[in-house]
Structure 1
Amino acid sequence: MTRTHDGAARPRHGATAAGVPVDEPAQPDRIRRPSDAIRFAASLVGLAAVMLLVSIAQQTTHGLQTDIVQGTAHAPRLLLTLATLVSSFGVLAVPIAFAVERLFHKDGTRVAIALLAAVIAFGVTVGLDDLVVRAAPGGVLDSLIWGGTETAPVHTDIAPVIAFVSAVGMAGRSRWQAATWTMIGLAALTGLTASYASVAALAATYFLGRAIGHGTLYAVGTPNPRPTGAAVVAALERLGPRPVRGARLDDPADDAEAGRRYGVVLAGRPAGGRVPAGRGAHGDWDLEIRVLDRDQQTAGLLYRIWRLLRLRATTTGRTLRSLRRSLEQESLMAYAVDAAGVRTPRLTGTCEVGTEAALLAYEHVPGRRLGDVPAAEITDELLTDVWRQFRAMQGGRLAHRRLQEDALLIGEDGLPYVTDLHAGETAAGDLALRLDLAQLLTTLALRTGPERAVRTAASVLGEEALGGAVPLLQRVALSRATRQALRRDRDLLTRIREQIVQLKPETEAAPARLERFRPRTIFSVVALSVAAYIVIPQVTSLDVGYLAATASWHWVVAALGAAALTYVAAALMLMGFVPERLPLRRTVLVQVAASFVKLVAPAAVGGVAVNTRYLQRSGVRPTLAVASVGASQLVGMVTHILLLVLFGFLTGSTAKATQDLAPSRTIVIAVLALGLVAGLALTVPRVRRVVASRLKSMFSGVVPRLVDVLQSPKKLCTGMGGTLLLTLAFVLCLDASIRAFGGSLPWTTVVLVFLTANAVGSAAPTPGGLGAVEGALTLALTISGLSAETATSAVLLYRLFTLWLPVLPGWGAFAFLQRKEAL
């Protein structure tokens, strides 16, 4: 076999398969391989790791460099000189020779892409050396450079070569790979021994070159290495069959992990045999060929890694397989399933197609996938037969792992066949077998309903076996396609459990723990990290000694008590706008948890999300939960505006000092400009529809919810009382913080200052209004007559009690409520 310019296998001149027609759409000249994107991302991660390492471990990097220099100082000088001469010549000569060799094999496109990557790498490294890196922090720069700042931290002579090698592709050419990387290694070694290169700089250069090479390859696209259908059919001849016609059966837009499929007609067909005329027709094929393309082995890799990390190891298959490993795995599974007595298309042979693909030849079984079979044709007899095939697989300890609709073929003879064995596992454990049962139950229930699926399964497997699937009937345990189908019937899994429990009431219904962690765990970790990043610098800026020496502690305690009262007030506010009964203690705990969440979300967003989730977990329907929280927020906003206007008037009429709190001309102009832009935008019909739909979804049901509350005077008093108490508690906390440092302001002024700063904090996009609230409070208190020192100390104490101090209790409450499934 020889290879074409795109890497596909081509029959030698005169081969008997050269004239076999294959009906398939034209393949693209270039493709973007998932593996290139993954390698690009991995190189960026490696580069970031090097930068982090040299930032925090400068002594280690310098020590490593010193050890290398001292170790090579004893090497023979003649040997080092020879290595320098060889690397200086070979680091460019070997890649050039490989490029010439590829040109002779008509692979010029890949060479051109590799040259583009080398040019980009040269430009990037020159730019980094001359412009960017010199302005980097001294610690990083000093660790990258060895021997003074005259040396470039990123090595321009090596990076383009690495980018070229990464992009040109030397897979399968071990001699060229060894020669090229030997020259690069010698060039790096001579740089280390001559003290003009450091280990850190070389590592950064390596990852940068790899990132540019694979990034260019992914952006431009690599020449398509996949063999054509004609090449696949030609390779089939080596197994013995003589094909006379073929056609592509699958849609090129289908899941890449499933591989390409071809139907093949063999010589010697009886007279009158049907031959399909078009691609994808369900004709009377003799063989069905599944092609494994090397470049598709990494398709879906990120998703599989996510599943591997998220789920326990015994519930996931091998994350990444080589082409050879995938071929062997599917072959073994096909033979094992056939040996177990399961009805499946027989595997007749396997072989490689050049160096970029492999094929598996199955006997063709004409029929339809379960998803294409009308519901009227899915009889109980058919379902029972499906369960018999499944029982045979379970008896052979064979796990399919993807028993969804496409994996079940209903033949023209009316019998079910198990197909798509590429993800299967032999010698499977109990958990994998039970997961298969949960998957097949869900697949059949989606087509026939829970009652028929469970009843036919029980008649074959028995009630005891079905009971083992109940704890595993979870969305996370099912395939991605099945989870998407469940979005149309969200309570299907619950109904399946109920059907099984009716057959076997003593069945354990508690879900099994399949996940290492849940998405909310990631949220907690990220939120805590962000909170720590925000809070720690703020807390370290406090002069604790000064605060402790000058503060009046009885007012500090009063401020702390007022801050604690805010959580009770917020709980009463929420309870008042929810007609359903809520426990006060748990509702207060939810508000404490919300104080943690608001540090990673704007102040007006975090509390709404937590309260909505809490109401849903408490049994309130999602639409009513959103309406209840929306009603409390709407009443709170209206109350806040009315109080701001009222106390602004009272303060303005009694104290001239606070007149400066009026918006400046710049703010007025900005507000008017924003209003003008918003008004012009609303003249566009599409913008009006989007805004109307957003507002409708946000406040739909709020008015009916308010009407429900108005019908209960007790609820109305609770909600309004909580709203006013919340404002009062914050005002008391701010006033006590001011008095703790010897300051004093009229109570109307304190109320106005709080209302103004709180409005600014709610509008600010920063978490918890961070920065905006402190600035507004300090400015307002200073304008109102306090000294800058007193105002700053009072604001820091106030924010300590209302924002920073509740972080750890809030995180504890958040974690506790998650464990209790209240959030």
Structure 2
Amino acid sequence: MTLMPLDGLPQSAPTTDPPPAAPTTAEAPRTGLRSPAVARAVRLSVSLLPLLLIAAWAVVDWRSMYDGAARLASADPGWLLIAGVFTGLGWVAAACVRQGALPERLPPGLLLASQFAAGAANHVLPASIGAHAVTLRFLQRQGVPLARGTASLALYSLVKPVAKTVVLLVFLIAFPDMLHFGDLLPDSWTLVLLAGGTAAALTTTVVLLAVVPSLRRPVTGFLGTALTDARVLHTRPSRYLPLWLGAAATPLLQGSVIAAVGFALGLPLSWAQVVFALLIASTAVGAVPAPGGIGPVDAAMVFTLSDFGAPVALATATIIGYRVLTVWVPLLPGALVLSALVQREVL
């Protein structure tokens, strides 16, 4: 039926909008996965995962933990307290380096807590993967773009070995009498293999970028972001000073922890010898992918300390005590902090 309005023009009868279509079965599962209950369950599982990994590690490596704890029980508590102070300063140095590698300002308290939690994750996964993953998640939660966060991790990973090399050269100049470590230097074949492996890795990277065009854009974008951020950071003293000073202080603090533990057990070496031994050992085998450097670095440290004149048994006890103090003692608190940060959606 057609209605005639007052102006004489025809007008259609009003119609009503059709009801909204019911959600399809394909959309229903997505809604369920995004429900608050499922999200809470996922966060709870992620927060409990570090504790489960620690429990499994404790079952596998309980002998080392027991022996180290027994040796520390008979050590000088004053020196152990000093070692604990240096251990805490190591987390502060790590937070300084992380902040110095990023233009954005991060909340100091949460940054320090994230580095404490990252230390627990770093001792579970090799090659600092755990620490980098925790830090990258923290940066994203603070609103830092993924490209910039990844570039900061790359700058962090580059600055630390460069700063450690500078510290090593300073020690060589300041203490020339420590150059007697002949057997600690790699032989010619080892240097050839190292150079060959480095050249092969670079060649493979160049070939992949040349053959696979889809890799060029993300790689060039990442390099552009990294270079731009590095240039900006080095124009700001509030960034490059904590970046480089924190990276240079890290091996000194680690060596100071080992020296304090050694002094608590009666190690007959000086502080400079212990720190120099750590610099040599970590440089020689630091590239071996082991969780937190445990394993290869420990063996190299025992060998280096014994080369400086320490008894092998005492050097071994010092390294075991150092690992208990820096790994096992803060591991459970670090995992609890990691779980708390996940629960509060900081990570």
TM-score (norm 1): 0.37
Match of 2:289 in 1: 765
Match of 1:733 in 2: 257
> Which of 25, 45, 52 is the aligned partner of 1:402?
25
> Which of 28, 33, 50 is the aligned partner of 1:476?
33
What is the Cα deviation at residue 698 of structure 1?
5.8
2:332 maps to 1:808: yes
2:134 maps to 1:610: yes
What is the Cα deviation at residue 532 of structure 1?
3.0
2:61 maps to 1:538: yes
- Deviations along 1:474-503, one digit per CA (max 9) or x if unpaired, are 6834xxxxxxxxxxxxxxxxxxxxxxxxxx
CA distance in 2, matches of 1:675, 1:722: 27
Higher strand residue share: 1
* Contact 1:630–1:698 under 8 Å retained in 2: no
CA distance in 2, matches of 1:521, 1:819: 7
* Contact 2:54–2:332 under 8 Å retained in 1: no
CA distance in 1, matches of 2:144, 2:24: 37
* Contact 1:595–1:607 under 8 Å retained in 2: yes
User: 1:763 aligns to what SS in structure 2?
Assistant: coil
2:8 maps to 1:385: no
CA distance in 1, matches of 2:269, 2:144: 44
CA distance in 2, matches of 1:763, 1:603: 8
* Contact 1:658–1:749 under 8 Å retained in 2: no
2:194 maps to 1:671: yes
* Contact 2:160–2:247 under 8 Å retained in 1: yes
- Deviations along 1:686-731, one digit per CA (max 9) or x if unpaired, are 4755697786566442221122222322222222232233232212
Match of 2:232 in 1: 708
* Contact 1:741–1:790 under 8 Å retained in 2: yes
What is the Cα deviation at residue 771 of structure 1?
1.1
What is the Cα deviation at residue 554 of structure 1?
0.9
CA distance in 2, matches of 1:689, 1:562: 49
User: 1:513 aligns to what SS in structure 2?
Assistant: helix
Correspondence list, 1:21-40, <5 A: none
Relative to 1, partners in 2 of residues 1:763 and 1:675: Cα closer, same or farther, differing over 3 Å?
closer
* Contact 1:535–1:804 under 8 Å retained in 2: no
- Deviations along 1:41-91, one digit per CA (max 9) or x if unpaired, are xxxxxxxxxxxxxxxxxxxxxxxxxxxxxxxxxxxxxxxxxxxxxxxxxxx
Correspondence list, 1:289-368, <5 A: none
Correspondence list, 1:413-812, <5 A: 476-477=33-34, 512-515=36-39, 517-518=41-42, 521-541=44-64, 542-543=66-67, 544-549=69-74, 551-648=75-172, 650-651=174-175, 653-675=176-198, 677-678=200-201, 681=204, 685-686=207-208, 696=220, 699-759=223-283, 762-812=286-336
CA distance in 2, matches of 1:693, 1:663: 39
- Deviations along 1:110-142, one digit per CA (max 9) or x if unpaired, are xxxxxxxxxxxxxxxxxxxxxxxxxxxxxxxxx
Question: Which runs of no fewer than 5 residues in structure 1 stay unpaired?
Answer: 1-382, 391-399, 405-434, 440-473, 478-510
User: 2:97 aligns to what SS in structure 1?
Assistant: helix
Match of 2:7 in 1: none
CA distance in 2, matches of 1:767, 1:671: 22
The one-letter code matched in structure 2 to 1:739 is F
CA distance in 1, matches of 2:70, 2:333: 24
User: 2:265 aligns to what SS in structure 1?
Assistant: coil
User: 1:805 aligns to what SS in structure 2?
Assistant: helix
CA distance in 2, matches of 1:759, 1:697: 31
Relative to 1, partners in 2 of residues 1:623 and 1:656: Cα closer, same or farther, differing over 3 Å?
closer
TM-score (norm 2): 0.82
CA distance in 1, matches of 2:186, 2:325: 28
What is the Cα deviation at residue 557 of structure 1?
1.0
What is the Cα deviation at residue 736 of structure 1?
0.6
User: 1:600 aligns to what SS in structure 2?
Assistant: coil
The one-letter code matched in structure 2 to 1:610 is V
Task: Decide which structure has the larger Cα Rg and report it.
Answer: 1
Q: Report how many aligned residue pairs link the two structures.
A: 330
Relative to 1, partners in 2 of residues 1:681 and 1:624: Cα closer, same or farther, differing over 3 Å?
closer
Match of 2:12 in 1: none
User: 1:740 aligns to what SS in structure 2?
Assistant: helix
Relative to 1, partners in 2 of residues 1:612 and 1:674: Cα closer, same or farther, differing over 3 Å?
same
User: 2:36 aligns to what SS in structure 1?
Assistant: coil
* Contact 1:627–1:700 under 8 Å retained in 2: no
What is the Cα deviation at residue 622 of structure 1?
1.7
- Deviations along 1:292-339, one digit per CA (max 9) or x if unpaired, are xxxxxxxxxxxxxxxxxxxxxxxxxxxxxxxxxxxxxxxxxxxxxxxx
Higher helix residue share: 2
Relative to 1, partners in 2 of residues 1:692 and 1:733: Cα closer, same or farther, differing over 3 Å?
farther
- Deviations along 1:715-755, one digit per CA (max 9) or x if unpaired, are 22222232233232212111111111111434433222222
Relative to 1, partners in 2 of residues 1:773 and 1:673: Cα closer, same or farther, differing over 3 Å?
same
CA distance in 2, matches of 1:579, 1:816: 27
* Contact 1:556–1:737 under 8 Å retained in 2: yes
User: 1:785 aligns to what SS in structure 2?
Assistant: coil
The one-letter code matched in structure 1 to 2:33 is V
Which has the higher mean CA deviation after the structures are superposed, 766-775 or 742-751?
742-751
CA distance in 2, matches of 1:536, 1:664: 38
CA distance in 1, matches of 2:90, 2:205: 39
CA distance in 1, matches of 2:199, 2:155: 29
CA distance in 2, matches of 1:818, 1:675: 38
* Contact 2:79–2:264 under 8 Å retained in 1: yes
User: 1:786 aligns to what SS in structure 2?
Assistant: coil
The one-letter code matched in structure 2 to 1:633 is S
* Contact 2:128–2:291 under 8 Å retained in 1: no
Relative to 1, partners in 2 of residues 1:512 and 1:694: Cα closer, same or farther, differing over 3 Å?
closer
* Contact 2:141–2:346 under 8 Å retained in 1: yes
User: 2:193 aligns to what SS in structure 1?
Assistant: helix
The one-letter code matched in structure 1 to 2:193 is A
What is the Cα deviation at residue 594 of structure 1?
0.5
* Contact 2:98–2:156 under 8 Å retained in 1: yes
User: 1:529 aligns to what SS in structure 2?
Assistant: helix
- Deviations along 1:233-291, one digit per CA (max 9) or x if unpaired, are xxxxxxxxxxxxxxxxxxxxxxxxxxxxxxxxxxxxxxxxxxxxxxxxxxxxxxxxxxx
Correspondence list, 1:191-210, <5 A: none
CA distance in 1, matches of 2:216, 2:259: 41
The one-letter code matched in structure 2 to 1:583 is P
CA distance in 2, matches of 1:634, 1:517: 37
What is the Cα deviation at residue 811 of structure 1?
0.8
Match of 1:272 in 2: none
- Deviations along 1:604-624, one digit per CA (max 9) or x if unpaired, are 322222111111101212222
What is the Cα deviation at residue 799 of structure 1?
1.1
